[in-house]
Amino acid sequence: MDLPNAETLVAHLADRIAPHVGAESALVGIHTGGAWLAQRLHQRLGMATPLGTLDISFYRDDFSRIGLHPQVKPSDIPFAVEGRDIILVDDVLYTGRTIRAAMNELFDYGRPSAIRLAVLIDRGGRELPVCPDFVGERIALPRHQNIQLTLEAGHGFVLSLQSPSAQVDA
Amino acid sequence: MRNNPQINQHGELNHLLTLEGLPREILLHILDTAASFVGVAEREVKKVPLLRGKAIFNLFFEPSTRTRTTFEIAAKRLSADVLNLNIGASSQSKGETVLDTVDNLSAMHADMFIVRHAQSGAAHLIAQHVAPHIHVINAGDGRHAHPTQGLLDMYTIRHYKPDFGGLRVAIVGDLMHSRVARSEIHALNILGTREVRVIAPKTLIPSGVEGLGVQVYHNMAAGLAGVDVVIMLRLQHERMKGAILPSAQEYFKYYGLTPEKLAFCSHDAIVMHPGPMNRGVEIDSSVADGAQSVILPQVTFGIAVRMAVMSILASSGS
Amino acid sequence: MKLVIKGGRLIDPKHGRDAVTDVYIASGKIAALGAAPAGFIAQRMIDATGLVVCPGFVDLSARLREPGLEYKATLESELEAAMAGGVTSLVCPPDTDPPLDEPGLVEMLKHRARSLNKARVFPLGALTQKLEGRELTEMAELSDAGCIGFSQADAALTDTMTLMRALQYAATFGFAVWLRPQDVFLSRHGVAHDGEVATRLGLPGIPSCAETVALSTILLLARETGARIHLCRLSTAAGIGMVRVAKEQGLAVTCDVGMHHVHLSESDIGFFDSNCRLVPPLRAEADRAAIRAGLADGTIDAVCSDHSPVDDDAKQVPFGEAEPGATGLELLLPLSLQWAREAHLPLDRALARITHEPARLLGIAGGELGVGSPADVCVFDPDAHWRVDRKSLYSQGKNTPFLGARMQGRVCCTLVDGHVVFDRPHGREARKQATT
């Protein structure tokens, strides 16, 4: 399958978000791919509020099944969440479980006035009622396939399809 | 040495009984995970749903409100259900053995036991006895180990002095009876600390302690010279006078940490104490409350470290 | 009853015999060796081809837990264990409940043991009443009742004046006094050897000087009083060195060590294995080496099983709260053989320490298979391999540091007074399986 150029998608996504960014808007990226993407968007959009990142390891619904992620990173929300208009950023949207966990974690910081969702790729396969507000591109993928965003020196963002055996979950 | 009983067949930490022989990667993983938990306490909602529905029993055969409370807070911030049992008075006097108590609580579907006991090895005994899905954390057994205290001390040192390879650390006081000191010594050596010193009169130094990887000093001026971290140990009241020490006053004069003695250390040395402190016995108030003291941050980090240990144990075997 | 043991390798350390020799037994005694006496018609023949025939073992310390401690073990169970271990004579310490401080108790024990018709039981009487270290017992009466010597077992005798008086009184009658050297104050609260392992595990220590300080007191009082002293369960290199010097100086002392201390050291405690909670504590590796050297050069006269059955409840507790002791009667032989292999000692020299030497220091018949001596015999398979587990032990005490260990050498058959009192079921089959 031919995958779209990730850098082009990032530019499209930024263009779609731009009209909706206000003074109270803040970007929050989900570790790891979403955090990279959010950082790029944060630059492109020239946002005043500092960038936030979330590691949703402590909020996952599959902890009792697969345990703690081996490399947990601290979540970092350097602004008050209360009343904020938050744009949550992730690289790939699949089942929706990560977004559910991220929203739960955000609410433990305070009550935002709105949360909107921006993703680079919506690959379908939702298991929860989660719908993105801003999408780079929609690609229908069979369950056994996995799409991943990587950051490569000299090439920037690159999308790749992964062999099913290497995947843990999405 | 026989197989490490706290590591399961997949190399995961299944119980935390001692820091001795703990692989360096596991120790660092605990500290790294703790770093993620430190921020949780600063949020609007100071808890995460990680251990929702898990039953954690604080099994204290020896009373200790402080330690029990820190474990309780840690468990609650992980959304676990915590039950506190102070066994000292009730069961033991009725002739119930440690393992009877554990069997009873296991039947109530416990997921984790936090054990404090006056006898060295009590946590090992319980860990060997419980069903495989139950995890045991040693919250202090006799003179043997207090691994979470050792870990939080490592977290604190790393926070202020990240390079263990360049550090000189001195542990001062009642090494003989201190489980905290033993856990610290193991952890410091696992992390490659340049020099670990112990300082105390000969009556408070256990025999063969050099074998644990420390240098023994009996004099504060020599022992503190150039050290980057000073850890003061608590002196139990019953040992302040008698056949081990003549008096608390003489002890303070020769081994208490005063500003004058602190001046022997490196100028930016940090001062630690596992608490609770005996002011004027092992440490002078002006040092305990001074600029170089990190005694209160130790307490804060202690919660995060215990949250990390609980969540790592709970995820082993899954 | 006439009986012949045919085709076995006879090892008799006292007489320096080690050759395939038929043993003829009549009227409870060794009737002849090699060729049958004229007109000898055996009613029973034991085929000992491929097996070793040696004197039944003489164990200088086996606690039978009667009277009073039957929840730990009974005379029935422990004498059965003795038979399964090839032990035909054993000394039992006086620390029963009540202690063996009255003739009636000793007579009862002797009577019970005789009626079971198994190992010969030689009780030690209490040196002081209730083993409290204050008032002397009626030693002469106790001796008449069957005590072979007097002992404090592991109970303290802190008052050195009382100790001296006890030694003087025993010396009056020529009674042997058995003492385990351990200073009460230096060993107080201790549960493990005061060394690196105890320090690592945070276990209160018993320093080596707890043994040597007490030992020097005992040796000086032995010189002073002329009492016949047997030193029990030495554990330290320094202590053994002191005994070596005392013996060279002509002091009439004897001593023994426990079999566990020949094989184990402090590091075997591992992670708080309460089966390694022993008295005296397992010492350092250097002490273990000194014990082996002392056994080889004769400083140490005998090895005993130090059999002390302990019930599970008393072991399933933290190390420091665990009751000291381990079962040992059934391991005495294989552990002696293992020691001989590891020390490259001829079998007869190793077996001397559990046969002839202990019998000599007790002054009892047995421990040898000379013509005319009691037919107390052990027939064992030196090549049988077996695993120590709870089911394989006859003793009611199932606790030993060797649980799960592989052993080589197993008793097939035990005779006391010319009677077969133990014949291991399926002994031969087990051997065939083990060797194929």
Write the pLDDT tens digit of every residue in B165-175: 999 999 999 99
Cα atoms in the 13 Å half-sphere on the side-chain side of B264: 17
> Between B5, B98, B120, which is nearest C202 by CB?
B120
The predicted structure's pLDDT at residue A168: 47
- In this prediction, residue B1 has a pLDDT band, given cuts at 50, 70 and 90, of very low
Q: In this structure, what DSSP letter does residue C189 have? A: T
Give a yes or no: residue C296 inside a domain.
yes
Q: How far is CA B50 from CA A31, B46, B312, in A?
A: 17, 12, 11
Alpha-carbon span B190 to B209, nearest angstrom: 16
The predicted structure's pLDDT at residue C47: 96
Cβ neighbours, 10 Å, residue C199: 23
Q: Please spell the DSSP secondary structure of C20-71, one letter per residue.
A: E--EEEETTEEEEESSPPTT---SEEEE-TTSEEEEPEEES-B---TTT-TT
Q: Which amino acid is at C321?
A: E
> Between C195, C317, C320, which is nearest B207 by CB?
C195
Alpha-carbon span A123 to C24, nearest angstrom: 93
Give a yes or no: residue C420 inside a domain.
yes
The predicted structure's pLDDT at residue C255: 98
The predicted structure's pLDDT at residue B96: 78
- Same domain as C112, residue C76: yes
Range C187-194 contact pairs with CB under 8 angstroms and sequence separation of 24 or more: C190/C281, C191/C277, C191/C281, C191/C319, C191/C320, C192/C266, C192/C269, C192/C277, C192/C281, C192/C282, C192/C319, C193/C266, C193/C281, C193/C282, C193/C283, C193/C284, C193/C287, C194/B207
Alpha-carbon span C301 to C255, nearest angstrom: 6
How many helices and strands (H and E) does chain B possess?
Answer: 12, 9
Cβ neighbours, 10 Å, residue C194: 25
Whether the pLDDT of residue A54 is over 50: the answer is yes
Nearest CA in chain B to C319: B121
Exposed, middle or buried, A38 (CB in 10 Å: 0-12/13-18/19+)? buried
Closest CA to B303 of B25, B99, B36, B19: B36
Closest CA to C143 of C178, C170, C120, C111: C170
- Same domain as C117, residue C33: no
- Which residues neighbour B195 within 8 Å (Cβ) at sequence distance 6 or greater? B167, B168, B169, B215, B227
Task: Name which residue leads in pLDDT, B180 or A161.
Answer: B180
The predicted structure's pLDDT at residue C275: 97
Alpha-carbon distance B52 to nearest alpha carbon in chain A (angstroms): 10
Q: How far is CA B112 from CA A134, B52, B316, C167, in A?
A: 44, 13, 12, 57
- Same domain as C148, residue C38: no
The predicted structure's pLDDT at residue C426: 61
Tell me if A105 and B48 make a contact (CB, 8 A cut-off). yes
Please give the helix or strand (H or E) that residue C258 lies within, else none: strand C253-258
- Same domain as C414, residue C280: no
Whether the pLDDT of residue B2 is over 50: the answer is no
Of C301, C333, C362, the domain-final residue: C362
Q: How far is CA B110 from CA B220, B314, C115, in A?
A: 47, 12, 53
Q: With beta carbons less than 8 A apart as the criterion, state whether B280 and B45 touch.
A: no
| Structure tokens given for C124 | 């030690």
Tell me if C202 and B141 make a contact (CB, 8 A cut-off). yes
Q: Percent of chain A beyond pLDDT 70?
A: 95
- In this prediction, residue A162 has a pLDDT band, given cuts at 50, 70 and 90, of confident
The predicted structure's pLDDT at residue B237: 84
Q: Hey, is the C-beta of A107 within 8 angstroms of any chain B C-beta? A: yes
Whether the pLDDT of residue A37 is over 70: the answer is yes
Alpha-carbon span B46 to A106, nearest angstrom: 12
Alpha-carbon span C368 to C376, nearest angstrom: 8
Give a yes or no: residue C367 inside a domain.
no
> What would the pLDDT profile of B201-222 be if each residue is shown by its tens digit?
999 999 999 999 999 999 999 9
Q: Hey, is the C-beta of A71 within 8 angstroms of any chain B C-beta? A: yes
- Same domain as C251, residue C220: yes
Q: How far is CA C395 from CA C79, C333, C378, C419, in A?
A: 8, 15, 18, 21
| Structure tokens given for C159 | 């008052």
- The stretches in chain C having pLDDT less than 70 are 426-436
Tell me if B49 and A104 make a contact (CB, 8 A cut-off). yes
The predicted structure's pLDDT at residue C429: 44
- In this prediction, residue B86 has a pLDDT band, given cuts at 50, 70 and 90, of confident
Q: Hey, is the C-beta of B59 within 8 angstroms of any chain C C-beta? A: no
Tell me if B209 and C199 make a contact (CB, 8 A cut-off). yes
Residues of B in contact with C196 (CB under 8 A): 207-208, 211-212
Residues 227-266 in B contacting A (C-alpha not used; CB under 8 Å): none
Give a yes or no: residue C39 inside a domain.
yes
**Rounded mean pLDDT of B284-304?**
97
Tell me if B43 and A68 make a contact (CB, 8 A cut-off). no
Whether the pLDDT of residue A169 is over 50: the answer is no
Residues of B in contact with C272 (CB under 8 A): 120-121, 124-125
**Rounded mean pLDDT of B274-300?**
96
Q: With beta carbons less than 8 A apart as the criterion, state whether C175 and C143 touch.
A: yes
Count CB pairs under 8 A between chains B and C: 79
Closest CA to B220 of B230, B205, B210, B211: B230
Which residue blocks in chain A are alpha helix, DSSP H? 6-17, 33-45, 63-66, 97-107
Please give the helix or strand (H or E) that residue C140 lies within, else none: helix C139-145
Alpha-carbon span B45 to B195, nearest angstrom: 41
- Same domain as C326, residue C190: yes
- Same domain as C133, residue C48: no
**Rounded mean pLDDT of B95-104?**
86
> What would the pLDDT profile of B173-182 be if each residue is shown by its tens digit?
999 999 999 9
Q: With beta carbons less than 8 A apart as the criterion, state whether C229 and C176 touch.
A: yes
Give a yes or no: residue C117 inside a domain.
yes
- Same domain as C311, residue C377: no
Alpha-carbon span B56 to B67, nearest angstrom: 15
Nearest CA in chain B to A110: B44
> Between C194, C207, C320, which is nearest B120 by CB?
C320
**CA angle at C8 for the pair C2 and C14, rounded to the nearest 5°:** 85
Tell me if B311 and A68 make a contact (CB, 8 A cut-off). yes
| Structure tokens given for A164 | 């099913």
**CA angle at C189 for the pair C186 and C190, rounded to the nearest 5°:** 70
Alpha-carbon span A27 to B236, nearest angstrom: 53
Structural domain boundaries, residue C101: 56-362
Task: Look at strands C44-47 and C52-55 and give their pairing.
Answer: unpaired
Site of tokens 């273990």: C288
Residues of B in contact with C271 (CB under 8 A): 2, 5, 121, 124
Alpha-carbon span C397 to C71, nearest angstrom: 10
- Chains B vs C: touching, with 3+ CB pairs under 8 Å? yes
CATH number of the domain to which C390 belongs: 2.30.40.10
E strands of B96-250, at which residues?
Answer: 112-117, 135-141, 168-172, 195-199, 215-217, 229-232
Q: Hey, is the C-beta of A68 within 8 angstroms of any chain B C-beta? A: yes
Alpha-carbon span B112 to B314, nearest angstrom: 8
Of C304, C330, C362, the domain-final residue: C362
Alpha-carbon span C429 to B26, nearest angstrom: 50
- Same domain as C175, residue C281: yes
**Rounded mean pLDDT of B51-57?**
94
> Between C199, C202, C313, which is nearest B208 by CB?
C199
What sign has the CA pseudo-torsion A97, A99, A102, A108? negative
Alpha-carbon distance A83 to nearest alpha carbon in chain B (angstroms): 13
Tell me if B39 and A107 make a contact (CB, 8 A cut-off). no
Q: Hey, is the C-beta of B95 within 8 angstroms of any chain C C-beta? A: no
The predicted structure's pLDDT at residue C395: 96
- Which residues neighbour B204 within 8 Å (Cβ) at sequence distance 6 or greater? B173, B174, B175, B176, B177, B244, B245
- Same domain as C259, residue C167: yes
Alpha-carbon span C100 to C103, nearest angstrom: 8
| Structure tokens given for A14 | 């930024």
Give a yes or no: residue C153 inside a domain.
yes
Tell me if B5 and C316 make a contact (CB, 8 A cut-off). no
**CA angle at C208 for the pair C203 and C212, rounded to the nearest 5°:** 150
Alpha-carbon distance B191 to nearest alpha carbon in chain A (angstroms): 19
Q: In this structure, what DSSP letter does residue B62 have? A: S
Tell me if A110 and B44 make a contact (CB, 8 A cut-off). yes
Q: Hey, is the C-beta of B316 within 8 angstroms of any chain A C-beta? A: yes
**What are the φ and ψ backbone dihedral angles of A9, each rounded to 5 degrees?**
-65, -40
Number of domains in chain C: 2
Q: Considering only CA atoms, give the Rg of chain B.
A: 19
Q: Hey, is the C-beta of B314 within 8 angstroms of any chain A C-beta? A: yes
Residues of B in contact with A109 (CB under 8 A): 43-45
The predicted structure's pLDDT at residue B94: 64
Tell me if B36 and A73 make a contact (CB, 8 A cut-off). yes
Alpha-carbon distance B246 to nearest alpha carbon in chain A (angstroms): 50
Question: Which residues face C178 on adjacent strands?
Answer: C151, C230
- Same domain as C161, residue C122: yes
- In this prediction, residue A167 has a pLDDT band, given cuts at 50, 70 and 90, of very low
Alpha-carbon span A86 to C318, nearest angstrom: 56
Alpha-carbon distance A140 to nearest alpha carbon in chain B (angstroms): 32
- Same domain as C260, residue C125: yes
Tell me if B182 and C271 make a contact (CB, 8 A cut-off). no
What integer best gives the mean pLDDT of chain A?
91
Of C362, C385, C403, the domain-final residue: C362
Site of tokens 């039950």: B83
Q: Hey, is the C-beta of A67 within 8 angstroms of any chain B C-beta? A: yes
Tell me if A57 and B36 make a contact (CB, 8 A cut-off). yes
Find chains touching chain B: ≥3 CB pairs under 8 Å.
A, C
Known catalytic residues of C are 306
- Chains A vs C: touching, with 3+ CB pairs under 8 Å? no
Find chains touching chain C: ≥3 CB pairs under 8 Å.
B
Question: Which residues face B271 on adjacent strands?
Answer: B230, B293
> Between C203, C204, C271, which is nearest B5 by CB?
C271
Three-class SS state of C4: strand
